[in-house]
Structure 1
Amino acid sequence: MSDLEKTPDDAFQKLLDSDVDGLLEASEKPKKVTSSDRLERAFLEIVEFRRAEGRLPSSSTREIAERKLGARLDGILANDEKIEALKHLDEFDLLIEPEPPASLDELLENDDLDLLSDDSGLHDVSDLPARRSPADHASAKRVKAENFEEYEPLFKQKHAELADGTFSLVPYSGIHLIAEGAFLVLNGVMLFVAEVRDAEYKETTVRVNRRERTRVIFENGTESSMYRQSLSIRLFEQDGRALARTGHDLAEIGDADRESGHIYVLRSRSDHPQISGCENLYKIGFSTTTVQKRIARAATDPTYLMAPVEVVEDYRVYNLKPSALEHLLHRLFAEVRLNVSQIDATGRRYDPSEWFVVPREVINQAIKMIISGEIVNYEYDAKQLKIVERRAQ
């Protein structure tokens, strides 16, 4: 066929065949960017800032780029639909909104610029009587810690372990570190997570929020029942720290700080003259369950002198084997052990070995000294009714 006889289609095909450089190939139509894509990209910039800087971007800083990200995050947090759409990208819990301050103490905690500093101590509530009401369970008020004497030795021990290098401070890295038994540092104040309570669920129009109350003990003698998520946000915002055993992975934080049992001190309510007439008579024991459960059948148990008992002290023990602590207390007070026998309902004879004639305040002092490790250089003087420095052998 001559060139004159070729059709236009043939000529066009010849032109395409000669395009060895692909200049005539049609480019792919660009994929349309949706509003959802733009929202996710915008949020991922905030996530990258958190990963790089270890904190949330501020919407009030003079750094324009950071302020832009901070304002963007504020806008997202104000929109439930955006929060729901971005949850799958929220690896740092950025979308969990903090609770508004429920008290002056919480307002002071969030005073990042120290505008409300209190050098005079006017706001210090550590010496105030403890206040409890049903409303405390609905808000995170800071109050004087109940039984703070049980926790004070733990703080002293941790400070000593930080000083000798056994423990180190590491950057707070996530809500998984807020577990029972964990020690953290917020605004320069060490805190102890005594409890993480059962989850609460609050339903909104777009989702169900899962929240967990905590019992947090601060080394200044106060405690709070703030939500676990709220505490996490504050630790992120204020460059919080966690205590980790030196040389161990972050995943192991808290592993050695779990509650291991209870050391309890009981007073007998027996009406037997030999028992009721004995001043400073106390039973010192330990339990891996609650003390109330342990003493439920005291009235029929010769271990408890076949009579009801009253709990006068209940120490929750961490980092120690309760039975070993109990053994140390029994050895310390061996000289003043009560010498008495009991007969149970079947006629069997028992010699209860956990009752001691020693002042209650001395028992409390001994428990604290054992927890802190000081007891190794001391002994109990039954004549002086006090713990004294151990005499040289």
Structure 2
Amino acid sequence: MNDDIEAVGTDLPRSIDEILDSDFDGLLDAPAKAAKVTSAHRLERAFLEIIEFRRVHGRIPSSTTREIAERKLGARLDGILANDEKIAALMPIDELGLLATPEPPASIDDLLGGDHADLLDDESGLLDVSDLPVRRQVYDSGNAARREKAADFEQFEPLFKQKHAELRDGASRLLPYPGMAHIVPGAFFVLNGVMLLVADVGETEYKKTTVRENKRERLRCIFENGTESSMYRQSLAIRLSDEDGQIVVQSEAPEILTDDEASGYIYVLRSLSDDPQIGTIKDLHKIGFTRGAVANRIKNAEKSATYLMAAVEVVATYRTYNLKVSTLEHLLHRVFAEARLDITQSDHKGRAYDPSEWFVVPRSVIDQAIELIISGDIVDYVYDRAAQRLVGPD
């Protein structure tokens, strides 16, 4: 019995190496370690499922279908297409071109021709516009008013500076735009923070319609930024009304009413003549009246005997309302008759002339006379040349 035990014991392995060597079936082998699955591998595997769906069904999976499995693949594809990095990583295995960006159609015909799903098919006729009236084509006639650089802006620039100075000093003020009747030559307005001058009003144009005959006038509007426009009077009126425009008026002038009629401007000029007979006369001023812009009136002063054949400087302008021209001229001539310039000059052709409307009167007295003219009290005053003042009733 003991011999049998000893015999069996001699067949047992005596060390761990003998145990391992005797494991012919690999029962004692350690299991192979699974390879680590990376995010790139998961992305590739997910995309391969989409490719397989496309291969089996002949179309890409939809992300809006009710089939949960397909919807999942469709959403996955949408996410890939929205990520440039994922597209770049999957391009090498995109054998079906699912990630390629389609070329845009070159024309509307190409777009309609590529509508394989008939998405643009209009069986209801909703897109048929053949029975609709043809839209009238509007062509630019070249007469539309546009801003352009004012070629003679240097003639108007001093007027803008004067108005700004009057506003600062309180001599002028801004009032709400009172109506189209006040859009006359020489009027100053403020539109969107920019001052403009109505330099001139063109001839009245008549346009007949099926209802009435409309009249309109082109304006020459000079803006203080050096540009000008030839818009119609009605167009300026609409803009001033809609955009809270303002009019520039004298502070001492009565409130302008919408039914007041703008008469024009009284202007005061100083001669820039280099003639010793003229240049040495102190307080020599021309007092005149114009319905239009003063700048236009004095444009060619050096060629006119009225302006002593020399350029002039605008000293002041005064806006008048509801005033007859003949009455104004009569009052000016009567009040300053004793101070009228008494001199004979010759023009460029040697012809003699006696200038009118030039008076040797201090500026302060002229200002006082203008106030009295506007108020209507001037009829009771005369100018005392010796005292250099206006003398009224006791």
Q: TM-score, length-normalised on structure 2?
A: 0.40
Whichever of the two has the greater Rg, that structure is: 2
Q: TM-score, length-normalised on structure 1?
A: 0.40
